[in-house]
Every structure is written in C-alpha cells, then in structure tokens.
Structure 1
Amino acid sequence: MLRPLTTALAAVLLLAPAYAQDARPSRFAEDPYASTYSPIAAPPVLITGAVVLTGNGERLDGADVLLADGRIVAVGPGLEAPEGATRVDGTGKWVTPGLIDVHSHLGVYPSPGVRAHSDGNEMTNPVTAQVWAEHSVWPQDPGFGAALAGGITALQILPGSANLVGGRGVTLKNVAATTVQGMKFPGAPHGLKMACGENPKRVYGEKSGPATRMGNVAGYRAAFIEAAEYLKKHKPDEAPRSRRGRRSGGSDNDSGSGKRDLKLDTLAGAINGDILVHIHCYRADEMAVMIDLAKEFDFRIAAFHHGVEAYKLADELADAGICGALWADWWGFKMEALDGIQENIALVDRPANSCAIVHSDSSEGIQRLNQEAAKVMANAGRAGMEIAPERAIRWLTRNPAQSMGILEQTGTLEAGKMADVVLWNGNPFSVYAHAEQVWIDGARVYDRGDRTRQPVSDFMLGQGAAQGGAR
C-alpha cells in the first residue's frame, strides 16, 4: 500500500547528517579542491522480503529496507511504502550495505595499464607527503564501472607504496563523473599513505637511500620531527582541538606566521588528527615499530594494509584501535610476505573491538570482494572458526568505513545514513552471487538486468566507436 511520508520518516530525514562537512578542519586539512558531488534525484524505494545484513552484526530474515531522499529511512519487517515509491521484490534475495574498498588504485593506475597512465607513485624522494592521489585520478577509468558491478559504492584511492610517505589518499563515491571533484565523498577526511619494508628499500637503496629498514625508520622520524616543529610554528588559534581534547603541538598564542610547506601541511595534519594514517606493512615486527613511532609523535594509525603477519598482533591491534586491511590469501610473492596464513583475517577479527577488513589493492579483486571474504570464511571454517555472514559483511562495509572516517555517513543500514545499498541474487558469500542492483544515495546506478543502468565510461564508448569505424 502506497502512503505519504510519515512524520517519523520526515524526522529521520531532517536529522540525517549533512553532505557538507560540519566541523571546520585545521588549516593543514583544508581542501581547495572540494567535492562537487551531488546525489542523483530518485524516488523512494522499498525493497521487500529480503535477507538483510545490516553491517552491524545483525541478520534480518524476510525484512524490508526503505530508502527516500538519498537516505536509509527504516529497516525491518512490514514497512509501508510512501507515495510514488518504487517497490523491489527481495524474496529469495539478500540486501547489504554498499561495499567499500579501503585500498584501491583505480584512476591512478587505470586501464589500459600503460606507462602514460602510471600516476600512482611519485618516486622522486622517500617522503612525498605533498602529493595528493586525487590529482592523478582519471574518472574515465573503466575499472570504476567494473567495481560498481561488484557492489562497490565507495573506495579510497591511495598513492603507491614506493615511498616512506607516499602522499594523501582520497575517498570517492563510485559514481560516473567528468571530474574527480564530482566523485569525492563529501566531508571524508584525507588519508595519508605510508609504507614499510622492502618497497622503499628497493626503490631508494641505489639512490639517496634509505637502503635498510633502520634507514626507513630514521626517515619517518626525521619527517615527523620536522612536521612537529612546523606544527608549533604554524598552528592557528582557531584550529580545532585534536582527538585527545587538547591542541596538538604549539601554544594557544601561536601566530601562524611563516612560509607554508605542502609536505609538512600533510604530516602536521596527521599529527593533528585531521588526516588518517594508512600504512602498507607486512611483518609483525615492523607493525610494532610503527605503533611505537605513532606513540613517539602522537599520531593515530587508522589501518595497517596488507599485513600478512597481522594475526601475530591481533590483540595489540584491537587494543590500539587499529584496523587490519588485509588480503584473503595473498602471500609468498616476496620475502616479507612469506609468513602469511589463510586464517589471517579470521584471527584478526576474533578479539573484542577488532577491526578486520578485506581490501583489494587490485583492479580485478575489487570486482569480487564478496568472494574474497567468502574465501576467508571457508578457510576459517576448516580451522574450526565458523563465521556467520552477518559478521563477515562487516569486513566489507562497516569496518572500512570506520578506518576511512566515514562511518557516520555510510557502511551500515541504519536510519539517517546514506542509502548506499546492494541487492544480491542470493547469499553474497556464494561463488554464484551477483549484485543485481546497486543504489548510491538512493539512486539506482547499476542494474544487472538493465543495460541502461550499466555505466560505461566515455573512454570505453570511444573504443567502441573506433572499433565500429574499423569495420
């Protein structure tokens, strides 16, 4: 039965978080390239009778999901559709939040993979905190559309791992746009990409250095010492208080005088808590060193990425509030990856307050993150650790959103959050699972059964035209 929006529904929409970032960031995190993303106007949608995984650890059988004005309005049985709503029969199907990939290089290493498109690593200095991945993103990368077909609604694009500090990452909504600003997730904080171990050693060992792991750590320390001094000199009075409730570095009377430095802006923003630190790191001993580095310079690590030995530090990561953004089963392709196990994510997920994430770091893997998670569940089951779908979905939705600073907006199916939703033809952790429909902010942006709802980039359209001309 179709009915007008109720008072309760209107209240949910009124209280929903605004798209613009409410709190003013510090000067180190101000964004001159602000998001121009605007949700696509769409009618209300009521999905009925589905198995719903909310992303908060709940499974609801035979439940409904109501979307309106770009937001989740309600989740539960027997919901009423407002006037003009599109009804979608979810019988026999599953609904999840939109999937989120915390580690992607789409757009900075786009397809086709040619040298002219290699824009992810600024390999000119071990510390290039001044560069921003978004300034390399090519919105026409066909990989974005392929990821959308796999249920990906948001993703963090990071620089590569050649450098000790590679630069800022950017969080995008997975929508078609002409400019990267048109894809930028409104209000999402920047990430800072750092890297441990073999990659910086290999790239700089025959240049200016570092050539050893101890050289790597000396490089991080030197950079953050410089940033801490910069923070003392440049902290403006009006900057917000840090996450610990005090001003981070410098006095309340600092004048903010002195020359601006883009590299130190980023590092100071990380110390100040405005920019989230994501670290490429494989070995447990190196992760422990990086945790000590964060304590020394008073910054917080949002996530360790790849971390094939994260299982050795599962309790420490949970206690420190650090996420493990990990592969299901990649290992053994270099020395620092030799001690990986297939139960890694399952073990990282076991402690209370844990934050395990399945990530891709791959233009192909991002198309099947649900299947990567399914491999973890299967390997864990063989080891006697049964993991239910309602827990595993957190690895793909809630936990990456937490590590990226966007959990208040997306990652779970809760009233008031962005209506980023996937309808699957069955259990999403089956090898036969397909994303049938995908909504971003309540707009149906992908439909497996409707070619007009399967985005094709301008680049791919051009390729088709060229092929047609050749015939």
Structure 2
Amino acid sequence: MRPSHPCPTLLAAALAITLAAPASSATTVLGDDPYPSTYQRIEAPDTLIRNATVLVGDGTRIDGADVLLRDGRIARVGRGLDAPRDAVVVDASGRWVTPGLIDVHSHLGVYPVPGLEAHQDGNEMTNPVTAQVWAEHGVWPQDPGFNTALAGGVTSMLILPGSANLIGGRGVVLKNVPGETYQQMKFPGAPWSLKMACGENPKRVYGSRGSAPMTRMGNVAGYRNAFIEARAYLDKLDSEEPPTQDLRLESLAAAMNGEIKVQIHCYRADEMAIMLDLAEEFDFEVAAFHHATEAYKIADKLA
C-alpha cells in the first residue's frame, strides 16, 4: 500500500510535547482556563511502516527501518518488525519518516492563506502594549495553511501574535488536527506564552504615526512602565483588598510569576542583552528569542 499523499515526508505520528510546569510561587495569578481545550485524540488502527529512511528525534538516521504505530503513537522503530494482526502495512521504500514536527513559531490561523484582509488577526495595533489579547481568539481553524503544514510533517505548533507591538499578547499551542473551533485543536494543559518584540518593528509601526515608541529608548521605557504596573498588581493580589481583574496586567503578572512563558522577537545582539537585563529587573524568564539573527554574538549569555 502506497501513501496517498505525494509529499516525500511520510507522517509517522504526532509527537507529544513535554512541557515544563510553571515556576513555583506564593501567589497564583491565573485561574482555570476560561476557554478550555476540547481536543480528542483521533483513534487510529495499528500501522506498520516498512523499509523507510527514518530520522529519529535525536537526529539518528536508520536506513531500511520499520516504524510500528499503536494507538496513534510510535511504539517501536527497527528493522524486520512483525506486523500485528489486522495492522495497516505501508510500503515506505524511498521515503523519509520522522516524528511529527513541532513549529515553535507560527502565525497560522491568525494570518491565514491566502492573505485576505478580512482574516488578518495577528497584530492588535491599537496600543504598543496589548498583553490582554490572546492569539487563540483570532485563530481561524479552517485556514488552508494548516493542511499545507501537515503535508510537510508539522503536527503541533505555537501560534503567536505578530511583532508590531512591544507586548503583543498571549500565544497558544495547537495540535494540527481538523476542527470547527480552535478549542478542538488546543493542546490540553500547554502553558500560554507572552509575545514581545524589540527593535525596529514596534518603533516603525508607532513612530510612523508620530506616537511612542519612536526609538529603541522608547521601546525599553514602554516595557518597563508596563511591568512596573504589573508588579504593583501582583503585589496587591494577596492583600485584603485585591484589585479588580485586569486582563492586561494579569498576563504581565503571570509572566513575572512564571505561569506564562515569554517569547521575544529580537534581531540584534545588544537588544537581546537588554531584554535579558529587563527579565532580571522584573523577574521573568525568557523562554526563547525568535528571529535572533545576531544570537551568535552573545552565545555565552544565552547558554
């Protein structure tokens, strides 16, 4: 039996993501997810993929290998594996098999293809700090780009807001499965991310309007002012008169508290170094720098 899709990458299975727990803290900012995942794993028959060129998750290459899938998961990898009774057998001669690929920076769903204006929902360009918005609320589950990504082997992805704002909002982890709603795609239990951006993008967007930030100085001042507000909000949560819920400050405080992972769009080495200092000043952890063109210049700081 030949695979029906012409893509040379044969999808072996969706790779489960192991996600770290939030950092421990005396104060918990986030409650239960008000938009919980309704994802249900699709039942799949036992499948044996034969005679493939396999790339294991650690980069090891195995030629002429078999991959046994059970209940939708990779059960065994090796040569000459026996097919379970009633298993689907796929001849993968001349083809490559990898675990499901995880895209750690995607705008699928919030910037669908084709790029029609009606579906452009990745940047809330109304204020430099929009930590209150969530990318998941802009995801269009019927984006044709999801199928294109699946054909290339992408089975899970982190959907992030764009980089127009200093702080663009929360990201969400999705499984690349069909769904009428984004919640059917939402990875159960995955932590949120907070998207930040430094350098030319925010200052270009707002400087062109004659408003702050117009410079990199303005960028850093904008981050600091936002986190100063969030620190005061966090300090009041355990008081006798806790503050009224504020979605913007809640996301920022949760980042400071370790409950939300911080993802930063940054090109220049000096800007990344400043963001590391900012993280130390406000006690949050940078999960990753994205588009980090000059990361090699400060490899020692990032190690």
The TM tier, using the shorter chain, reads: 0.7 to 0.9
Q: Per the alignment, in what secondary structure is the counterpart of residue 48 of structure 1? A: strand
Match of 2:265 among 280, 286, 291: 280
- CA separation of 1:81/1:232 partners in 2, compared to 1, >3 Å: closer, same or farther? farther
Cα shift readout 1:25-51 (whole Å, capped 9, x = no counterpart): 944263211111111111111222322
Match of 2:245 in 1: 260
Match of 1:151 among 138, 150, 153: 153
Separation of aligned partners in 1, 2:96 and 2:145? 25
Separation of aligned partners in 1, 2:260 and 2:21? 16
Match of 2:86 in 1: 84
Amino acid at match of 1:286: E
1:133 positional shift: 0.7
Amino acid at match of 1:83: R
1:256 positional shift: 7.8
Query: Conserved in 1, the CA contact under 8 Å of 2:29 and 2:257?
Result: no
Separation of aligned partners in 1, 2:92 and 2:156? 23
Cα shift readout 1:156-206 (whole Å, capped 9, x = no counterpart): 211111110000011111111110111111221111110001111122223
Query: Conserved in 2, the CA contact under 8 Å of 1:47 and 1:64?
Result: yes
Separation of aligned partners in 2, 1:233 and 1:45? 55
Identity of aligned residues (%): 67
Amino acid at match of 1:183: M
1:18 positional shift: 11
Separation of aligned partners in 1, 2:200 and 2:36? 35
Corresponding position: 1:212 with 2:203: no
Matches within 5 A, 1:72-471: 72-205=74-207, 206-234=209-237, 257-317=242-302, 319=303
Q: Per the alignment, in what secondary structure is the counterpart of residue 236 of structure 2? A: helix
- CA separation of 1:115/1:92 partners in 2, compared to 1, >3 Å: closer, same or farther? closer
Match of 1:432 in 2: none
Separation of aligned partners in 1, 2:58 and 2:31? 30
With the length of structure 1 as denominator, give the TM-score of the two structures: 0.56
Query: Conserved in 1, the CA contact under 8 Å of 2:128 and 2:165?
Result: yes
Separation of aligned partners in 1, 2:279 and 2:21? 27
1:59 positional shift: 2.2
Q: Per the alignment, in what secondary structure is the counterpart of residue 52 of structure 2? A: strand
Match of 1:351 in 2: none
Q: Per the alignment, in what secondary structure is the counterpart of residue 175 of structure 1? A: coil
- CA separation of 1:114/1:90 partners in 2, compared to 1, >3 Å: closer, same or farther? closer
Query: Conserved in 2, the CA contact under 8 Å of 1:29 and 1:269?
Result: no
RMSD across aligned positions (CA): 2.5
Separation of aligned partners in 1, 2:232 and 2:50? 57
1:64 positional shift: 2.2
Q: Per the alignment, in what secondary structure is the counterpart of residue 258 of structure 2? A: coil
Query: Conserved in 1, the CA contact under 8 Å of 2:29 and 2:253?
Result: no
Separation of aligned partners in 2, 1:22 and 1:44? 32
- CA separation of 1:187/1:307 partners in 2, compared to 1, >3 Å: closer, same or farther? same
1:74 positional shift: 2.1
1:255 positional shift: 5.8
Structure 2 unaligned regions, length at least 5: 1-15
Separation of aligned partners in 1, 2:191 and 2:300? 27
Structure 1 unaligned regions, length at least 5: 1-16, 236-253, 320-471
Tell me which of the two structures has the higher relative contact order, counting C-alpha pairs closer than 8 angstroms and 6 or more residues apart.
1
Separation of aligned partners in 1, 2:107 and 2:259? 22
Q: Per the alignment, in what secondary structure is the counterpart of residue 82 of structure 1? A: coil
Q: Per the alignment, in what secondary structure is the counterpart of residue 222 of structure 1? A: helix
With the length of structure 2 as denominator, give the TM-score of the two structures: 0.86
Amino acid at match of 2:218: G
Separation of aligned partners in 2, 1:310 and 1:289? 13
1:283 positional shift: 0.5
Count how many residue pairs are aligned between Structure 1 and Structure 2.
284
Query: Conserved in 2, the CA contact under 8 Å of 1:277 and 1:300?
Result: yes
Matches within 5 A, 1:2-81: 26-28=28-30, 30-81=32-83
